[in-house]
Amino acid sequence: MQSYFSKDFLWGGAMAANQCEGAYNEGGKGLSIQDMMPDGIFAPPSTRVEPRNLKLQGVDFYHRYKEDLALFAEMGYKCLRFSFSWPRIFPQGNEETPNEAGLAFYDGLVDECLKYGIEPIVTLSHYETSYYLAKEYDGWRSRELIAFFERYARTVFTHFKGRVKYWITFNEINAIWNFPLLAAGILTPKEQLCQEDLYQAAHHELVASAMAVKMAHEIDPQNKVGCMVCGFMNYSMTPNPDDVVQKVLVDRKGYFFADVQMRGYYPSYAKALWKTEGCTIRMESGDEEALQNTCDFLSFSYYMSKCVAADPSQYQMTPGNIVSGLKNPYLKASEWGWQIDPKGLRVMMNDLYDRYQKPLFIVENGLGAKDKVVMVDGVKTVEDDYRISYLNDHLAAVNQALAEGVECLGYTTWGCIDIISASTSQMSKRYGMIYVDRNDDGSGSMERIRKQSFYWYKKIIASNGEALK
Could you tell me which residues come within 8 angstroms of residue 445 by beta carbon, excluding any fewer than 6 positions away?
437
> Toward ligand BGP, which CB reaches closer, 160 or 414?
414
Assign residue 314 a region (left: φ > 0; alpha: ψ between -120 and 50; beta: otherwise): alpha
Binding residue (CB under 6 A) for ligand BGP from 32, 34, 99, 171: 171
413 lines the binding site for ligand BGP (CB under 6 A): no
> Toward ligand BGP, which CB reaches closer, 172 or 287?
172
> Toward ligand BGP, which CB reaches closer, 80 or 103?
80
301 lines the binding site for ligand BGP (CB under 6 A): yes
Count Cβ atoms within 10 A of the Cβ of residue 40 and give its class: 0-12 exposed, 13-18 middle, 19 or more buried: middle
Strands (E), 264-372: 297-301, 306-308, 317-318, 325-326, 360-364
Q: Distance between CA 57 and CA 19 in Å, rounded?
A: 9
The interface region with ligand BGP, picked from 5-13, 241-249, 288-296, 415-423 by CB under 6 A, is 415-423
Count Cβ atoms within 10 A of the Cβ of residue 159 and give its class: 0-12 exposed, 13-18 middle, 19 or more buried: middle
The interface region with ligand BGP, picked from 69-77, 111-119, 277-285, 418-426 by CB under 6 A, is 418-426
Burial 439-467 (b: 16+ CB within 10 A, else e): ebeeeeeeebbbbbbbebbbebbeebbeb
What Rg do the C-alpha atoms of the chain give, in angstroms?
21
> Toward ligand BGP, which CB reaches closer, 387 or 429?
429
The interface region with ligand BGP, picked from 30-38, 194-202, 243-251, 420-428 by CB under 6 A, is 420-428
| DSSP conformational letter for 296 | S
**Candidate list 67, 172, 284, 288, residue with the active-site label:** 172
287 lines the binding site for ligand BGP (CB under 6 A): no
423 lines the binding site for ligand BGP (CB under 6 A): yes
* Amino acid at residue number 196: E
368 lines the binding site for ligand BGP (CB under 6 A): yes
Binding mask 212-251 for ligand BGP (x = CB under 6 A): ------------------x---------------------
Binding residue (CB under 6 A) for ligand BGP from 85, 130, 421, 453: 421
Torsion, CA 15, CA 448, CA 51, CA 187, rounded to 10: 10
321 lines the binding site for ligand BGP (CB under 6 A): yes
CA angle 8, 255, 465 (to 5 degrees): 25
209 lines the binding site for ligand BGP (CB under 6 A): no
59 lines the binding site for ligand BGP (CB under 6 A): no
Q: How far is the CB of 411 from ligand BGP (least distance, A)?
A: 15
Q: Which residues pair with 436 in a beta bridge?
A: 448
Q: Distance between CA 280 and CA 361 in Å, rounded?
A: 34
Coil, helix or strand at residue 370 = coil
32 lines the binding site for ligand BGP (CB under 6 A): no
Q: List binders of ligand BGP among 4-23 (CB under 6 A).
A: 16
> Toward ligand BGP, which CB reaches closer, 219 or 369?
369
Q: Is 150 an annotated catalytic residue?
A: no
Q: Distance between CA 72 and CA 58 in Å, rounded?
A: 18
429 lines the binding site for ligand BGP (CB under 6 A): yes
Q: How far is the CB of 274 from ligand BGP (least distance, A)?
A: 27
Q: Is 364 an annotated catalytic residue?
A: yes
Binding residue (CB under 6 A) for ligand BGP from 119, 128, 138, 172: 172
The site for ligand BGP (CB under 6 A) is made up of 16, 171-172, 230, 301, 321-322, 364, 368, 414, 421-423, 429
Catalytic residues: 172, 364
